[in-house]
Amino acid sequence: MTEKEKINKLKRFEKKLSERNRKKIKLMFEDFSVALINNNKFSVKIDIDYSKFEEIAKKYLSEIFYYNVHSTVNFFSKLFGWQISKNKLKGIIDTVLNNHNKKYAAEKVTKITETTKKLLNKVLTDSQRDGLGLKGTFNRILEKVKEMGINRAKTIARTETSMAINTTSFKTAKTAKIKKKKWIHLGGAYTSRRNHQMLNNKIINIDEYFDLGGGIRCLYPHESGLQASEVVNCNCLIIFV
């Protein structure tokens, strides 16, 4: 299989996985809507329980990451023909999941919750300015949550998918004792970053860092800890040579 064929196959895999995750994130916001309705049935004021949203988000994001990691390990092993024992594959999965859960899972849920709270607070402020009553304001909130399930779901799903694929493929390549990696830039007109374009087709040793400029370095695109400006809507990936 040529490199181009591998990249195209990887793009199709990522697209399929991202679409699955988008549907899951949409369900996450739908569950939040149900929780809002149940929590405000007999309320004389609007009560938005963000701790409940965190609970819902944690459940969905954990399931998504778990599925992504398992799928990616199997996909890359087959795509590159790496001979890795079942025990080592299990070790990769356990390592990636444990590292994610310890360092990044809670932070991710917090960030998504904070953005959700900011957006809904704006709805409350705008509704008060417009003189809406309790029912009108609550309906606006439900509409906003529904909108999040469409617009934000796509962005969250794409980011989560890319992060899991790049993280897991890197760990799998290390286990297979691969020596070189290559940055592939797949950005479109609205998602291209100049510093990412500059790295396109750059080959370096597996343990070397890609230099994104401004003192920012990473082992692979979407590495955990990178700032949002380097990962949101980024379509870059790594392959191994």
pLDDT at 124: 95
The answer to whether the CB of 53 falls within 8 A of the CB of 116 is yes
- pLDDT, one tens digit per residue, over 167-213 is 999 999 999 999 999 999 986 555 678 999 999 999 999 999 999 99
pLDDT at 239: 93
Domain ranges of the chain: 3-177
Task: Kindly write down the DSSP assignment for every residue of the chain, as one continuous string.
Answer: --HHHHHHHHHHHHHHHHHHHHHHHHHHHHHHHHHHHHHTTT-SS----HHHHHHHHHHHHHHHHHHHHHHHHHHHHHHHT----HHHHHHHHHHHHHHHHHHTHHHHHHHHHHHHHHHHHHHHHHHHHTT--HHHHHHHHHHHHHHHTTHHHHHHHHHHHHHHHHHHHHHHHHHTT--EEEEE----TTT--HHHHHHTT-EEETTSPEEEETTEEESSTT-TT--GGGTTT---EEEE-
List b or e across 137-151, with b for residues whose CB sees 16 or more CB atoms inside 10 angstroms. bbebbeebbeebbee
Mean pLDDT for all residues in the chain: 92
pLDDT at 191: 66
Indicate whether 75 pLDDT > 90: yes
pLDDT at 122: 96
pTM above the 0.75 mark? yes
pLDDT at 198: 93
- pLDDT, one tens digit per residue, over 18-61 is 999 999 999 999 999 999 999 998 878 899 999 999 999 999 99
Distance CA 171, CA 74 (A): 12
- pLDDT, one tens digit per residue, over 104-123 is 888 889 999 999 999 999 99
- pLDDT, one tens digit per residue, over 221-230 is 999 888 888 9
Please count the other Cβ atoms lying within 10 Å of the Cβ belonging to residue 126. Answer: 13
Indicate whether 141 pLDDT > 90: yes
pLDDT at 120: 96
